[in-house]
Amino acid sequence: MANNRLALITGASAGLGAEFARQYAAKGWDVALTARRLDRLDALARELEEKHKIATITISQDLALVKGVDTILRELKEAGRYVDALVNNAGYGLPGTFFDTSWKDQAAFIRVLYTAPIELVHKVLPGMVERKFGRIINVASLAGYAPGASGHTLYGSVKAGLIKFSESVHAEAQAAGHNIHCTALCPGFTRTEFHDANGTREAADQSPDWIWMKAGPVVEAGIEAVTKGQPVVVPGAVNKGLATLTKLVPEPLGRAVMKQQSKRFWMKDGD
C-alpha cells in the first residue's frame, strides 16, 4: 500500500473533505486526513481501510495555528510519505459583519481559508516538481464570482483569491513543463454540514431544492477537472449558469441582488 500515491485532504472530518477521501480511496489512493476532530478522522480512516484496502494517516491539527502546516508535513515526513495530491478543503463561515466581529476571528478565518492553503501549496510543490507529478485542488466557491455582500465579509474575497491563485499556479506549472495540475473547485449550495456550522441551516432549508447539489457530484467534478488539467471548474448546470450570469449582469443590479440575498444566507439571526 505504501507504493500507492498519497492524497492529503484538509477539513477531512466531514462534508466535502470526507467525500474527497472516499473518492480518492475508491481510486486506490492512500489518504492523509487532517482536521481538528481526530475521532471523526479515525472513524473515516477505519472505514476506508476496510472497504478499499488502502493506507491512511490521520493528523489532528488546527490550521489557524501558525505552525499548523509545518506540523502536518512533518508528520507525513516522519511516516515516510509525501504528497502526490493536495486537496485544500478546510473552511467555515464567519457570520456577522466586519463591524461586529473581532480581528482575532477574522485573522483566524484568513489563516484557515487562505494563508494555510497557499502555504501548503508552496511547501508541497518542490517535491511534486522533483517527482514530476502533482495534483492540487483548492476548494473555492461560486461566491468568488459574485459581488460582495453584507455579512461573511471576507468569504467571497478569499474564494475569489483562491480562484486566481489556482489559475496562476496551474499556468506556471504548465509553462515550466511540469506534470502538475492545479484546479479551483467552485461549488454553489452543497448539502454538507457547512450551514449547520455557521448557523444558517434554517435559511438554507427554505431555499428551493433545484439550487442544491450533493457532495458526491461536486467532488467528482473536482477530481475529474484536476486530472484533465482544468484550472477552474464550476460543478452543475445551475451553478454554471449562475457563474455566467455574474459576468453578464450589470454590476449595480448584481450588488442589489446580493444585498437582498445576504439577508437570508449571510447575516446572523438578529442582524
Under the banding of pLDDT at 50, 70 and 90, the label for residue 80 is very high
Residues 6+ away with beta carbon under 8 Å from 63: 10, 69, 90, 111, 112, 116
Q: Does residue 271 form part of some domain?
A: no
Distance CA 265, CA 207 (A): 10
Mean confidence (pLDDT) of the chain = 88
Q: Does residue 156 form part of some domain?
A: yes
Q: Does residue 1 form part of some domain?
A: no
5-64 pLDDT, tens per residue?
Answer: 999 999 999 999 999 999 999 999 999 999 999 999 999 999 999 999 999 999 999 999
Q: Does residue 257 form part of some domain?
A: yes
- Predicted TM-score of the model (pTM): 0.87
Q: Does residue 102 form part of some domain?
A: yes
Mean pLDDT value of segment 81-91: 98
**Cell numbers that stand for 268 in this block:** 446572523
* Total domains in the fold of the chain: 1
Question: Cβ-count burial of 270 within 10 angstroms (0-12 exposed, 13-18 middle, 19+ buried)?
Answer: exposed
112-131 pLDDT, tens per residue?
Answer: 999 999 999 999 999 999 99
Under the banding of pLDDT at 50, 70 and 90, the label for residue 239 is confident
155 is catalytic: yes
- Residue-level pLDDT at 242: 81
Say what percent of the chain tops pLDDT 90.
73
- Residue-level pLDDT at 261: 53
Q: Does residue 63 form part of some domain?
A: yes
CATH value at residue 33: 3.40.50.720
The domain containing residue 244 runs over which residues?
6-265
Residue of 24, 114, 145, 155 with catalytic role = 155
134-157 pLDDT, tens per residue?
Answer: 999 999 999 998 887 778 899 999
Q: 154-177 as b/e, with b when 16 or more CB fall inside 10 Å?
A: bbbbbbbbbbebbeebbeebeeee
Q: Does residue 165 form part of some domain?
A: yes
